Amino acid sequence: MKPSARAGRSTKVATIADVAQLAGVSPMTVSRVINGEQNVRPGTREKVQAAVAELNYVPNQAARHLAGSEPIRIGMLYIDPTAGYLNEFLIGLLNKASLRHVQLIVQRCEAAREGEEKPVAEMIANGIDGLILPPPFCDSQPLLKLVAETDTPAVVVSAGQPPEDVCAVGIDDYQAAYEMTRHLLNLGHHRLGFIIGDPYQSSSSRRLAGFHAAMADAGLNIEEEEVVAQGMFTYRSGLDAAELLLSQERRPTAIFASNDDMAAATVAIAHRMGLDVPSDLTVVGFDDAPLATTIWPELTTVRQPIMEMAGAAVDLLVRHIKARRTGEPLPCEHELKDFELVRRQSDAAPRLRPPLRKAGAS
């Protein structure tokens, strides 16, 4: 009997390439079938299994072990509107990436909302395993759409309202702003100013909503007792917003800024106008970035654990990447971290002042 062409192949050890050639698929597809991954069509799976049986292919256990230990490459896109937040975030990322033996690829984007998809698309094309998206990219609809279309594991950080189908790490911005506002009210302030953050970031709207809710729950007439100004989370925008608030005929006795950069700017404007902080004006912030303790007076603020959140994002992403590699993807997870109200020297009860006398009054 004439031996078949395939019979001659049995004289050498079959490789994954031999199985792929016989089944008419790629070596990657063979690997997925062997590793039990579910994203393979039943007909294709049957072809691969038949080829494995015919060639008596035995997977190399050492090679499979190495494949399971394949390095993980994580990408992170950033822009630098608030250096304090970014520095804390990068330290958290680098520390955790080192502990988890993860390769971290950091890519700067020159301007948010303008061409931010391009660097991310390039990272995905170059074989990135997953993405971490801090503010403001955590709320970018084009980026989230790109992540979904390419089926790339991702974790958004500090998104006030993260999508249900994307993993997320953050704090409860609404509750944090609510508690800070209650703190100001308990000090005796009723006329409150609020500086809103970047309107394109969902955390801004959540913090504003918490502020509104605390004012309403205190029974105050919001239209009469609160005044708000738009900021962009930058120091420069905080200067403009604070000047607007403090130029009111009936200016607030306390200003709550949506981050520490804008709070620091408010302190600077108050000093320029001859106001003492906190005797004449209470100023509080949000984040507890390093800037909060490098200005005078030091800021009372909401501490969100930025470094811890960055590390948690790495852990969460690595867990999901490894689960995908074993063919057992995990459902999306949203991790909420604890925040803390930190009191320093920039808040106090409002000073009692005698009413202004009208000109000519005795």
The tens digit of pLDDT for each residue in 69-99 reads: 578 999 998 886 566 788 889 889 998 998 8
The answer to which of 159-168, 229-238, 353-362 has the lowest mean pLDDT is 353-362
Whether the per-residue pLDDT at 101 is higher than 70: the answer is yes
Name the phi and psi angles at 310, rounded to 5: -65, -45
Q: Is the pLDDT of residue 301 over 90?
A: yes
What is the pTM (predicted TM-score) of this model?
0.77
Sheet of 300-303: strand order equals: 226-230, 192-196, 254-257, 282-287, 300-303, 340-342
30-44, 77-91, 196-210, range with greatest mean pLDDT: 196-210
pLDDT at residue 110, as a whole number: 67
Residues 231, 243: contact at Cβ < 8 Å?
no
Reported as a single tens digit per residue, the pLDDT across 233-265 is: 999 999 999 999 999 999 999 999 999 999 999
pLDDT above 70 covers a percentage of the chain that reads 85
Instruction: Reply yes or no on whether the pLDDT at 66 is more than 70.
Output: no
Residue 352: per-residue pLDDT: 62
- Mean pLDDT for 220-228 is 84
